[in-house]
Structure 1
Amino acid sequence: MDGTDGKQRPASPEAKSPAPLPPAKPDNLVLGLERSGLIALRTPILAAILVALLSIVAAFGVARLQVDDSLSSLFRSDTPEFRQFEDLTKRFPSHEFDVLMVVEGDRLLQRGPIDQLRDLVTDVQLIEGTRGILSLFSAREAPEEGKLPGPLFPADLPEGEDYDALIKRVLANDIIKGKFISDDGKLALIVIAIDPAVANGERIAEVVKQIRETAAQDLEGSGLRAELSGVPVMRLEIRTAVERDQLLYNGIGFLAGCLIAIIFFRRLSFMVIAAAPPLLAILFAQGVLGWMGFTLNTFLNVMTPLIMVISFSDSMQLTFAARDRLIRGDNKYQAFKNAILIVGPACVLTHATAALSFVALLFSSSDMIRHFGEGGIIATVIALFTVITVLPVLGVLLVRKETAFAANMKGSDTAVDALRAFCGWIAHRVVARPGVYSAIAVLAVLGLASIYVGLETRYRLADQVPDKRQAVAASQRLDAKLTGSNPINVLIELPKGVSAYDPQALKVLADVHAAVEHQKGVGNVWSVETLRRWIAEKLGRSDIETLQRYIGYLPPHLVHRFLAKDGDAVVVSGYIPDEDANELLPLVNQLDATLNTVREANPGYTVAVTGLSAVAARNSALMIQRLNTALTIEIVFVAAFIGLAFRSFVVMLSAILPAIIPILASGVLLWLVGSGLQFASIVALTVSFGLGLSATIHFLNRLRREDRPGQPPELAVERATVLVGPALILTTVVLACGLAVTVFSDLPSLRLFGWLSAFAMIAALVADLFVLRPIIMFLLRLTRRNTVGAETKAEPAQ
């Protein structure tokens, strides 16, 4: 009995013995674009050969894909701030190309270990690809008039009390204390300058390997341990992790999904039919992106699961539809043709909405995000035509003895029948009280939204770097012992024609240096002013000629860290810990405000706080907020697009809540675990939005076909749920398993993306089953309340 009207309801057609179905009728929901999938059915063998050839071409395109491992790529944009950062990197190619070796041990300053450490510094300088080294052994004794200062560490180390006196001088040396040696004398920093051409090329992997091997060999038996960090090492670890994760975790996740699909389909052929088109879609999309010169980065790395989500959902719906037709008596050609005509319009619409969701990204200030938007549009178009073209071809080539298959499946399709029974059970209950369920959904959305809007944005440099490798661990040691590992710079551009040795220029440099070293949170401050102070203190000389002479004693790679080659700019460099951007932003703003005094007193001089840490602190929160806003706008815009496509205001309204519930629920989960909104979070929510839209569109498309004139809408809702629900559930389980394995990745951002996407997909499934059905039911009843029609017996579903 119907719990709402008390009348006997017709039995669902799925409860009866399957009966032959009439041929599906084409419609113009998407202007017939789905019928492009029928072209290959006319010559399936020729189409298969063409697909094989295109796969080979695509594979060469994939081989052309390079990994963009630059830590600054995310913030690259045509803005004054980023152009200033790029200018700094070009004029002072130091921090971006420095390998930081952190050597630590209780016996660090004992005579034997310090001798081994000096041998290590000497040997590393001989590795091809290094330009120079800065370490505690770079320090010099106090200068004497007319003499070149000797090294702090003599060639032959003294013994006994003389050695103890040497160590006291080392720990008190103004040049290296707190910079290259920790206050407790248990940690030393060695800065290895790498040739920019090597750091940006493939040879960096070999250079880093040689440095590690040299450190292990020279420090053997010393009790000291060495770890590497710095931008080149971080980039190398990112590249290695991305390549490894993409192959390993995507492979493991996909195999788990295939196993689940085989269990339900009970035929290897149907697993291949369902799984191969999404894989080919990924291959073709990445191949085209490779030929077009795209590079893999933080965002494009998740293009694979994004394509998989949308394509696999469509592929499963097509496979289930064709399988149902085969069981009902269609031959394989008829079955896959009818599947394209029935499900194809929804496939076109899901990919169209996915492509539209990328359009907002094209207006981002970040080059990386814009490229992600461009790549997403290209990939979704390729994925659409791959799925609707390849799947029917595979179907007619792989399905054999369809009559025998239909006979075997009748009455023994246990797993799929169980899913259908479950979907029918849910549908029967949610449509019985649509108003109650709709009201609960609205209240849930309001509650979830109140928490979501309070989410804070989060960004740390370490989130981009594998946290199970050396780089992050070494950086954490520097944060703890030497005030930080991330550089922050103040670029001073001199007026035209003014030399860096001009008295006013030196005064500006001194004022800026003082401001930076007095800024709370900044340590290890270096500039030409550091040398000038040392000469003044030790030699009692502050004239410009003496400063120039001592700078001339220094190696060029060291001089050009602080003084531009053409002499028109100088830089003051300090270090800060790797903290959340929200915590660094006040520091950056306070330092910038302090420097206003210098700017006002010295017109014509450009004084700018820059560096990757400063750029990230200023821009990360704004970029994440804009992405979040863009996602919110997309939901409304795409819902309107869906309503326009279906030519129904009811459809537009019904699509909104199921689309935003997974996003809000995921946001609440982020709030509960204290994670906040990160770049990986926003991308994960975009993926879940794609899956939620796909499920919504497939259901609405089937509902449109099942809705019969004169019948109560609940019958159409139940029929559509039973027909699309099993594929939706199976798709969600497969994709959630595929993404969940990424929790074992070395990349924190990928781990976050994986578990959050898996949760969001499950939330999307719940929203589709328990929110979309009652809302559409409620709205349909509301719009038809004045329509009186007799209830008739349900016709067989197509």
Structure 2
Amino acid sequence: MIGHLVGAICRQQRALLVLVLGLLVVSLAGASQIRVEDGARDIFVSSFDEYARFTQHTAEYPQSDSEIVVLVTSEQPFDREQLTLLQDLVFDGQLIDGVDFAHSIFSMQEYDTETESFQSVIEGDLSAYDDVSDALDEVADSPWTIVPMLNAERTETILVYAVEEQRVDDKQVQPIIDEFRELFAQVPPEAGLNFQLTGTLPILNTIVNRIIAEQGLLNGIGGLLGLITSLFLFRSLVVGLLTGIAPIFAVLLTLGAMGWLGLEMNVLTNSISILILVITMANCIHMTFELRKFARQGAGRNESIRGMMQAIASPCILTGLTTMIAMAGLSYSDSELIRVFSLAAVVGLCMSLFAAIVVHPLVFTLTWRISPIERALRRQVLPQKYWSELFGRTTQWLLRRKFTVLGVSVVAAAVLLAAFLPVQTTHRFNEYLHDDDPILLALERAEAISSPTQSLDIVLRQKEQGGALVSEPNLDVLASVHEDLEAAFPNNRIYSLHSLRRILRDAGQGASADDVAEMLEKLPERAQTELIGETGNGFKLSFRVADQPSPQIRELMDGINARLDQADLGALSAEPITGLTALAAVLSDKMIKELTISFLIAAFACPILIALWFGQWRFGLAAVLPNVIPVLVVGAWLMVSGWHLQFIGAIALSIAFGVAVDDTIHVLNRYDINRREKGRSFTFADVPAVMKHVAPALMTTTLVLSIGISSAFLSEMPTVIFFGGMCIAIFTLALLADLFILLPVLAVLERKRLASAAS
């Protein structure tokens, strides 16, 4: 098959060039259609029961993740002109298409039992106040202040705008945010007001925008850094440039395929382009090294291309297949996001394979006859020869200690695996941004004024349908649960219908079930559904929590469940804790573990494919340790150091594993070629020649990829920086494993065969 492919490349150059250029145009058109998404809910869309419950819950109760929070600050306490301007802005904001509800100091209300109606705390006409500070005093002193909206110094206030639920689900938030920014930009500077948008929706919008902005920039910088490195290592400008064409083409093909297939770009699939660039570049570097070897020996164009393809095409295909297995193993996940990632990765790896075994040889076939390129290909590169000899001698030294190398490797793998398992995971909504990011600092200040925006939702459902939810026994149960949780968790704020009933009691007003029911009827519709839901048969307790790692949230949920289990709920029953925060804490753990388990299965399954491909069970067994140890080193460090495993970390492990497998396959492929060439005369003395041949390519691949992916350190997103650091660490460890472990372990497995050949 390889021979036919080489023949087609050499004979049908123009036809293949037209095909490649046509695919490029189609890919560019497809890439322009890619949607970038990062909805907090979409990350957890799945067939898990927790997501089904969350979906039902969002249909009945308003969610805090559909709110835009605006922090308004002034250097001095708010004056009349500023408050008048703010009042108008609150009204104008409510008129923005997609805004469902607004809450501010101007919408705060008190319930008057005499008139049986709610009245605004602040008069609608601020001119009614001789001193406008009196209006702010009324806000601060009102016993009906459930969620504070004003700081003690009267220099900061928050505006909360709830976005229509369907606009959140349809990802139509950007136009709404743009309108708010335009609205606030119209405020004259002399007004002395500063506006900062924050909250879940603006934060997610910021993440999406940065993904879009950094996707091309970081890949471009990474490609440039990798190119500069390859130019230095290849000692040739043209050879480095030509080697980089196929990897770039592979990325464009992948993005085009994702666009035409309707696969979105999100926090997971954002790493696909890096995976494809890394895998394709690794294969192309190996192919270029092989091509130059034939060229230096005086072979012509067709002979060099054919020799390169016969030596490297097979391991490239095997690398693609093994990495596809690792990625395809994720398709069984219950998470839609992970399944999309799996499909995008498999499609991208197909594009990578096409670029490596068709586009790369075609590039050199077309350019070979250009004199400077031919001279560059035939030139001897002395640094490569130096490294070749060095690692040949090193391998010879290791072979004499092959049993020690095997023993130390096995013990190290066992210790690392024990440290890595059981996998501990972590997730935070705001982990994609630095803690000192302005939008997070604004959120921190807004939450200091009122309360955390994230919530664990506890629903006490009426067991029997038909009865009145707001009854004395039920309200007493709600009060008991509410106050018990407040006592058990004094650092958290809890809001429920009991909060309003307690205010009535403290004010000496009627707080019977009938009084509470009458008061409920006077509340705005959104406020009613927030407390008892659309169907009116379940009390909701909003247990507010700050953004924190998911293990802490799960621990908190366990504590809440323990209190609920001990409570006498009477005619009510407690549903499983839900809400976006609870969903994220539980499902992030399950999803990250699915990623890890699939990866570990692939890590041990890929050696089986290697053994079948080469027809040598020893090859597959020898490949286990060099592939697993680098990943286990990083994984164990994450567990021991307390970083734990994040989404991006699990993806980094899978990508780096692909590179580790790639290097291992190329070493085994060269071993197999040398052994077949020498036949029964192949002995221990010939094994170092394998490393002498491939060591320069392995080092070049690792350096190019590591320096290229170091562009991640320029990102504004800490998860991207973390991703780059993990990849570089595993790339380096994978190189060391292949240089120092693979051949000694294989020599132990092949010792009888090699010894009999020597005798």
Label 1:268 to 1:497 Cα distance change in 2 as closer, same or farther (>3 A).
farther
5 Å matches for 1:660-699? 660-670=628-638, 674-699=642-667
CA distance in 2, matches of 1:273, 1:612: 49
Label 1:410 to 1:51 Cα distance change in 2 as closer, same or farther (>3 A).
closer
Label 1:199 to 1:620 Cα distance change in 2 as closer, same or farther (>3 A).
closer
Deviation at 1:592, TM superposition (A): 2.5
More off after superposition, 354-363 vs 413-422: 413-422
2:702 corresponds to:
732
1:135·1:191 contact (CA, 8 Å) conserved in 2?
yes
2:740 corresponds to:
770
Deviation at 1:611, TM superposition (A): 0.7
Label 1:437 to 1:60 Cα distance change in 2 as closer, same or farther (>3 A).
same
CA distance in 2, matches of 1:385, 1:681: 28
Deviation at 1:776, TM superposition (A): 2.0
Deviation at 1:588, TM superposition (A): 1.1
For 1:612, the aligned partner's letter is L
Deviation at 1:651, TM superposition (A): 1.3
2:719 corresponds to:
749
2:246·2:355 contact (CA, 8 Å) conserved in 1?
yes
Match of 1:279 among 248, 270, 274: 248
2:65·2:454 contact (CA, 8 Å) conserved in 1?
no
1:527·1:572 contact (CA, 8 Å) conserved in 2?
yes
Cα offsets for 1:441-499 (capped at 9, x unmatched)? 34443454454347742221111456564432233334545442212212355554455
1:420·1:723 contact (CA, 8 Å) conserved in 2?
yes
1:362·1:374 contact (CA, 8 Å) conserved in 2?
yes
1:129·1:198 contact (CA, 8 Å) conserved in 2?
yes
Deviation at 1:525, TM superposition (A): 3.2
Could you tell me which runs of 5 or more consecutive residues in structure 1 were left unpaired when the two chains were aligned. Answer: 1-31, 791-798
| Structure 2 residue 595 is matched with structure 1 residue 627 | yes
| Structure 2 residue 230 is matched with structure 1 residue 261 | yes
2:26 corresponds to:
57
More off after superposition, 660-669 vs 450-459: 450-459
For 1:129, the aligned partner's letter is G
2:305 corresponds to:
336
1:14 corresponds to:
none
2:670·2:694 contact (CA, 8 Å) conserved in 1?
yes
5 Å matches for 1:343-422? 343-401=312-370, 412-422=380-390
5 Å matches for 1:66-85? 66-85=35-54
More off after superposition, 489-498 vs 255-264: 489-498
1:490·1:610 contact (CA, 8 Å) conserved in 2?
yes
2:96 corresponds to:
127
1:580 corresponds to:
549
Cα offsets for 1:515-543 (capped at 9, x unmatched)? 55455167443344444444455472345
Cα offsets for 1:721-774 (capped at 9, x unmatched)? 222222221121111122111122122222211111111111111111111122
More off after superposition, 353-362 vs 627-636: 627-636
Label 1:33 to 1:174 Cα distance change in 2 as closer, same or farther (>3 A).
farther
CA distance in 2, matches of 1:636, 1:753: 23
CA distance in 2, matches of 1:329, 1:490: 77
Deviation at 1:614, TM superposition (A): 0.8
| Structure 2 residue 457 is matched with structure 1 residue 486 | no
CA distance in 2, matches of 1:783, 1:506: 82
- SS of the residue corresponding to residue 109 of structure 2 reads coil
1:140 corresponds to:
109
Label 1:222 to 1:48 Cα distance change in 2 as closer, same or farther (>3 A).
same
CA distance in 2, matches of 1:637, 1:411: 41
CA distance in 2, matches of 1:318, 1:534: 76
CA distance in 1, matches of 2:443, 2:241: 46
CA distance in 2, matches of 1:716, 1:481: 73
More off after superposition, 316-325 vs 684-693: 316-325
Deviation at 1:690, TM superposition (A): 0.7
Label 1:408 to 1:259 Cα distance change in 2 as closer, same or farther (>3 A).
closer
CA distance in 2, matches of 1:136, 1:703: 75
Match of 2:403 among 426, 435, 460: 435
Label 1:242 to 1:599 Cα distance change in 2 as closer, same or farther (>3 A).
farther
CA distance in 2, matches of 1:108, 1:279: 57
1:740·1:754 contact (CA, 8 Å) conserved in 2?
yes
CA distance in 2, matches of 1:672, 1:588: 25
2:238·2:373 contact (CA, 8 Å) conserved in 1?
no
TM-score between both structures, scaled by the size of structure 2: 0.90
5 Å matches for 1:39-118? 39-104=8-73, 107-108=76-77, 113-118=82-87
Q: How many residues are aligned here?
A: 756
CA distance in 1, matches of 2:250, 2:593: 31
Cα offsets for 1:343-402 (capped at 9, x unmatched)? 111011111110111233122222212222232223222321332111121111122257
CA distance in 2, matches of 1:448, 1:221: 62
- SS of the residue corresponding to residue 560 of structure 2 reads helix
More off after superposition, 506-515 vs 453-462: 506-515
CA distance in 1, matches of 2:285, 2:210: 31
For 1:759, the aligned partner's letter is A
Cα offsets for 1:254-305 (capped at 9, x unmatched)? 0111122223334444334322222222222232222222212222111111
Deviation at 1:157, TM superposition (A): 4.5
Deviation at 1:695, TM superposition (A): 0.2
Label 1:783 to 1:481 Cα distance change in 2 as closer, same or farther (>3 A).
farther
- SS of the residue corresponding to residue 760 of structure 1 reads helix
Label 1:192 to 1:516 Cα distance change in 2 as closer, same or farther (>3 A).
farther
For 1:655, the aligned partner's letter is A
CA distance in 1, matches of 2:309, 2:344: 26
Label 1:501 to 1:36 Cα distance change in 2 as closer, same or farther (>3 A).
farther
CA distance in 2, matches of 1:73, 1:157: 44
Label 1:108 to 1:764 Cα distance change in 2 as closer, same or farther (>3 A).
farther
Label 1:344 to 1:411 Cα distance change in 2 as closer, same or farther (>3 A).
closer
Q: CA RMSD in A?
A: 3.2
2:367·2:373 contact (CA, 8 Å) conserved in 1?
no
More off after superposition, 748-757 vs 219-228: 219-228
For 2:750, the aligned partner's letter is L
Label 1:110 to 1:454 Cα distance change in 2 as closer, same or farther (>3 A).
farther
1:479·1:578 contact (CA, 8 Å) conserved in 2?
no
TM-score between both structures, scaled by the size of structure 1: 0.86
- SS of the residue corresponding to residue 758 of structure 2 reads coil
Deviation at 1:500, TM superposition (A): 4.8
2:578 corresponds to:
610
1:219·1:225 contact (CA, 8 Å) conserved in 2?
no
CA distance in 2, matches of 1:659, 1:719: 22
More off after superposition, 371-380 vs 99-108: 99-108
For 1:457, the aligned partner's letter is T
CA distance in 1, matches of 2:8, 2:57: 56
Identity percentage over the alignment? 24
1:643 corresponds to:
611
Label 1:383 to 1:678 Cα distance change in 2 as closer, same or farther (>3 A).
same
Label 1:63 to 1:335 Cα distance change in 2 as closer, same or farther (>3 A).
same
Label 1:370 to 1:117 Cα distance change in 2 as closer, same or farther (>3 A).
same
Label 1:395 to 1:345 Cα distance change in 2 as closer, same or farther (>3 A).
same
5 Å matches for 1:237-256? 237-256=206-225
For 1:644, the aligned partner's letter is L
Cα offsets for 1:666-685 (capped at 9, x unmatched)? 23543576422212111111
CA distance in 2, matches of 1:488, 1:105: 32
2:667·2:694 contact (CA, 8 Å) conserved in 1?
yes
More off after superposition, 285-294 vs 167-176: 167-176
1:759 corresponds to:
729
Deviation at 1:223, TM superposition (A): 5.6
Structure 1 or 2: larger helix share? 2
CA distance in 1, matches of 2:213, 2:95: 31
